[in-house]
Structure 1
Amino acid sequence: MYTVLVAESETPEHRADRRERAGRSSGESYIATLEQMVPGIVAERIAPADEDSPVYTPEQIAAYDGVFLTGSPLHVYEDSPPVRRQIAFMRAVFASGVPSFGSCAGLQVAVAAAGGTVRPIPERLEAGIARRIASTMAGRDHPLLAGRPACWDAPAIHGDEVESLPEGALLLASNGVSAVQAAEIRHDGGLFWGVQYHPELSPEEIASALRGQANDLVEQGLALDEAAVERHADLLAALRDDPDSPALRWHLGVDGEFADMACRRRELRNFLDTLVAARHAQRRRD
């Protein structure tokens, strides 16, 4: 069975806040999703941004079938010790040759590690649902997006975005908020697939994030007041238990690509079935 690393981009303070608000850290959410998708998977959670985290060498990382980088409130463009440690870890992942996948801040960390740039979104954060994501010419036949229609919505909450991709990277999907919604990066012998949105999160977890940022949503003009945020969050949370509800889909303006759990997780499934499976087979042969 697959053995993978799940690297949290969160600091200890971020993890504590998320556990209080949502019941578990980003890495714990990732592992719960992976265990649902691949029963028997062995997923080890690590926190490379932490001051007391061990330094992982490419040789140590090479013992795994895949690496996952979580989302977090980490601002990759800030020259802070946690950011430097996280980027150093990602460079070791690239050098190891182990395939890696990242969502939200995970994508941004990989971009920065390979020479690209990240910035705050110029206008306002993308919160709740990333609308009308569309594949590029390169993305239409790319295995990361296999099964996706020409345009789809996805769970998302982020105030930062990729400003420029590293040299040689492939832009796979965009939308009206962020030009980089999905990308492939090849760097130093490694291969990374990433998305700006959150295929690993349930609508309920996105709802929890919205409640935690209600003030920001009101200040940025995305909601009239905190009560409006709460109503929207309640609809998202209800979708987890009743994804086929026509009323919930209508109120939220989503279809099965967002509401159906298997559809929401397409990119994770494609990464597991394509790159992690190939790496696992190679390790068994070796």
Structure 2
Amino acid sequence: MSSAPSTFRFLVAESETPEAREQRRSSVGRSSGETYLDILRKLAPGANCDRIQPADADAALPPGATLAGYDAVFLTGSPLHLYEETPETRRTVAFMRAVFASWTSSFGSCAGLQVATVAAGGTVRANTRGFEAAFARRITPTEAGRAHPLLEGRPAAYDAPAIHADEVEALPRGAVLLAGNRVTAVQAAEIRFDGGVFWGVQYHPEIGLDEVAGALRRQADGLVEADLARGGEDVEAYARQVDALHAEPGRRDLAWRLGLDEQVTDERHR
């Protein structure tokens, strides 16, 4: 039996456009890919992590690297709408098909799940129930999800950081639905395609509450338009409470006010 590799090699695929990357950096100090790099290095100290921007026209792997040479590929969130035919979405979907064909295991959050869905033959649409903003509530594993390693340790219903205006409309043939809630039917899934395996979630387990607050501020106009807030001041007031809980995650008063428990406030569970 061959021994396990002494050092993992991970690839983070960041499909934000250059403009979105800079907006996110201005808001919370890091792009979505940089957030993933931080959390992977925390979870797997010593791992070698590379980053690629597959939506960019000049995207390329590091010299000498191949997708099959990575232990796992991680797909970040993104403002891309996968039901729109653009050069960015075409490049991103083509990249994901190459990941599947490489047989390299992959994971994605939010738009990452949507990218894998479209790459494997499923469909994505605008949320029929509107924005799911700040937190996805009462996510419930399916029978398959309760037995799946992706959701191991999760309770019968849980909340998670989330902010998205699109959703999976139909999973690809052979995919396994692992969790959903009242707002978004597909909150977690396993997708097998062309020899590859992908696990994904519609929410954002990788982000801290400071990034939730930043996302709310960046999308304040959309939240007001969706009737989730009366005005920008309402969004800012909510974001300030989320920021305060990030600074002091043990504050039970803030957790109570926001309706959150340790599944969100404790990063070990999140």
Shorter-chain TM-score bucket reads over 0.9
State the TM-score, normalizing by the size of structure 2.
Answer: 0.95
Q: Please tell me the residue identity of whatever aligns with 1:14.
A: A
After TM superposition, give the deviation of residue 55 of structure 1 in Å.
7.2
Aligned to 1:280: none
SS in 1 for 2:46: coil
SS in 1 for 2:186: coil
Q: Distance in 2 between matches of 1:43 and 1:128?
A: 28
Aligned to 2:264: 258
Q: Please tell me the residue identity of whatever aligns with 1:41.
A: A
Aligned to 1:46: 52
Q: Which runs of 5+ in 2 are unaligned?
A: 1-6
Q: Distance in 2 between matches of 1:136 and 1:256?
A: 21
Aligned to 1:37: 43
Aligned to 1:273: none
Q: Distance in 1 between matches of 2:253 and 2:240?
A: 13
Q: Which deviations, in whole Å up to 9, do the C-alpha atoms of 1:222-274 show, x marking residues without a partner?
A: 1122111111111111222221211011111011111100100xxxxxxxxxx
Aligned to 2:158: 152
Aligned to 1:206: 212
Aligned to 1:186: 192
1:97 maps to which of 92, 97, 103: 103
Q: Please tell me the residue identity of whatever aligns with 1:128.
A: A
Aligned to 1:162: 168
Q: Please tell me the residue identity of whatever aligns with 1:263.
A: H
Q: Please tell me the residue identity of whatever aligns with 1:173.
A: A
2:70 maps to which of 46, 53, 64: 64
Aligned to 1:195: 201
Question: Does the CA-based 8 Å contact 1:48-1:55 persist in structure 2?
Answer: no
Q: Please tell me the residue identity of whatever aligns with 2:92.
A: Q
Identity of aligned residues (%): 59
Q: Which runs of 4+ in 1 moved over 3 A?
A: none
Aligned to 2:240: 234
SS in 1 for 2:246: helix
The farther-off stretch of 240-249 and 195-204 is 240-249
1:16 maps to which of 17, 22, 38: 22
Which is richer in helix?
A: 1
Aligned to 1:221: 227
Q: Distance in 2 between matches of 1:227 and 1:17?
A: 20
Question: Does the CA-based 8 Å contact 1:55-1:89 persist in structure 2?
Answer: no
Question: Does the CA-based 8 Å contact 1:129-1:156 persist in structure 2?
Answer: yes
SS in 2 for 1:130: strand
Question: Does the CA-based 8 Å contact 2:52-2:60 persist in structure 1?
Answer: no
2:33 maps to which of 27, 43, 49: 27
After TM superposition, give the deviation of residue 125 of structure 1 in Å.
0.8
Q: Please tell me the residue identity of whatever aligns with 2:132.
A: E
State the TM-score, normalizing by the size of structure 1.
Answer: 0.89
After TM superposition, give the deviation of residue 206 of structure 1 in Å.
0.9
After TM superposition, give the deviation of residue 20 of structure 1 in Å.
1.5
Aligned to 2:3: none
Q: Please tell me the residue identity of whatever aligns with 2:251.
A: S
After TM superposition, give the deviation of residue 54 of structure 1 in Å.
2.6
Q: Distance in 1 between matches of 2:177 and 2:171?
A: 8
2:91 maps to which of 73, 85, 90: 85
The farther-off stretch of 83-92 and 15-24 is 15-24
Q: Distance in 2 between matches of 1:62 and 1:172?
A: 26
Aligned residue pair count:
262
Q: Which deviations, in whole Å up to 9, do the C-alpha atoms of 1:97-153 show, x marking residues without a partner?
A: 110000000000000000000000023110001000000111011000000000000
Q: Which runs of 5+ in 1 are unaligned?
A: 265-286
